[in-house]
Amino acid sequence: MHRLLLLGCLWLLAAPPASNIFQRPTGSPAPPRLQYLLEPLHPTVHTQRGATATLPCVLRTLPRNYRVKWSKVEPANYGESIIIITNGLYHKNYGPLSPRVHLRHSHRYDASLTITNVALEDEGRYRCQLVNGLEDESVSLMLHLEGVVFPYQPSNGRYKFNYHEAKRACEQQDSRLATYQQLYKAWTEGLDWCNAGWILDGTVHYPIINSREPCGGRLLLPGVRTYGARDKQKDRFDAFCFTSALQGSQVYFIRGHLNFKEAGQACRTHGAALAKVGQLYSAWKFSQLDRCDGGWLADGSVRYPITTPRERCGGLPDPGVRSFGFPSKELRAYGTYCFVGK
């Protein structure tokens, strides 16, 4: 008996700690280790609109009869759009990105994807997949643009857009519908807006910093409130748009007492165009444009950007783009914000 107890104690001393005996619960297999593709050192690539960005995908070795397929994950329909397929010798481009993408191919193991003249819609998740019969494997990367999210509604009031109209409205303002990640990041940076709006995946949300009665009540905690997925044809809300800096562009103010038509002419006289809402937000965010003067924009609204809040410029304590709404286009009371691109 004593000998059995001694053997039992020795077994316990020799056994590994309990937490190491079972590495993971049953039904949770370890993800397969990549055999052919190198894990990217930085899974997020940061870039700017108009720049050239490269998403890394490098092979450890070249298996026989392999292909590499690049695709982009589309949050609006939960699908993937093929961008390019290569077998190492030949390649074929697909889809709207086709004219602006190529394989870097700096050596024979390099299948990295290069995107030129990066556009707003290029942001998102990409997948590099090695197709090799039963041993397919892939790596996932994020292309991230620094940008700014802003709420948008038309001149005829709140909650007028179905999903497709919201998408088109953002595009007309030099922006695109924001993703949930972009809206969430904007909320963490101070975006507080009581009106619900569409985002890119077809869901509807609104971000609240200061809980209050008209915005769900004082008892609800701050956060990004959600209405979930809605009918893209029938349901109507505002829009949350996302825009980014555009290299080589400028927004500037022309002082005057102009109506809408005169404002447009003033910009054209200087070789520019009336700024769009997204362009004004971009100038405010990335060029620190700060003016106390209301000015016409291309959609017929009047706004002004404030980076240093002060009492005589609306009195609000936070930086932002202030709005006078959509006054009569015949009113001669404002200057104009003009945009010059590359």
Give the domain extent around 250: 246-340
Pair (120, 130) in one structural domain: yes
Q: How many domains does the chain have?
A: 3
DSSP-based three-state secondary structure for 178: coil
Q: Flag whether 319 is in a domain.
A: yes
- Looking at the domain assignment, is residue 18 inside a domain? no
Q: State the pairing for strand pair 250-258/334-340.
A: antiparallel
Measured from the Cβ of residue 46, the count of other Cβ atoms closer than 10 Å reads 12
Asked, for residue 14, whether it belongs to a domain, the answer is: no
86 and 178 inside one domain: no
Residue 295 lies in a domain: yes
Sheet holding 79-86, edge to edge: 44-47, 137-145, 124-131, 67-74, 79-86, 91-93
CATH code, domain carrying 186: 3.10.100.10
> Is this prediction's pTM over 0.95?
no
**Residue 19: inside a domain, yes or no?**
no
Tell me the pLDDT of the chain (342 aa) as tens digits: 333 333 333 333 333 333 332 234 445 555 567 788 999 999 999 998 999 999 999 999 888 889 999 999 986 666 889 999 999 889 999 999 999 999 999 999 999 999 999 999 999 999 999 998 766 899 999 999 999 999 999 999 999 999 999 999 999 999 999 999 999 999 999 999 999 999 999 999 999 999 998 888 888 889 999 999 999 999 999 999 999 988 788 999 999 999 999 999 999 999 999 999 999 999 999 999 999 999 999 999 999 999 999 998 988 899 999 999 999 999 999 999 999 986
- Residue that terminates a domain, selected from 243, 258, 286: 243
In a domain, 328, yes or no: yes
Residues 154-197 have pLDDT tens digits of 999 999 999 999 999 999 999 999 999 999 999 999 999 999 99
* Of residues 93, 101, 92, 88, the one with CA closest to residue 53: 101
Pair 266, 258: CB distance under 8 Å: yes
Tell whether 44 and 139 lie within a shared domain: yes
User: Among residues 222, 243, 264, which one ends one of the domains?
Assistant: 243
- Phi/psi of residue 287, each to 5°? -115, 5
Q: In angstroms, rounded to a whole number, what is the distance separating the alpha carbons of residues 331 and 182?
A: 36
The answer on 288 and 306 residing in a single domain is yes
Give the distance, in angstroms, between the CA of residue 302 and the centroid of all CA atoms in the same chain.
26
Q: Which of 145, 161, 193 is the last residue of a domain?
A: 145
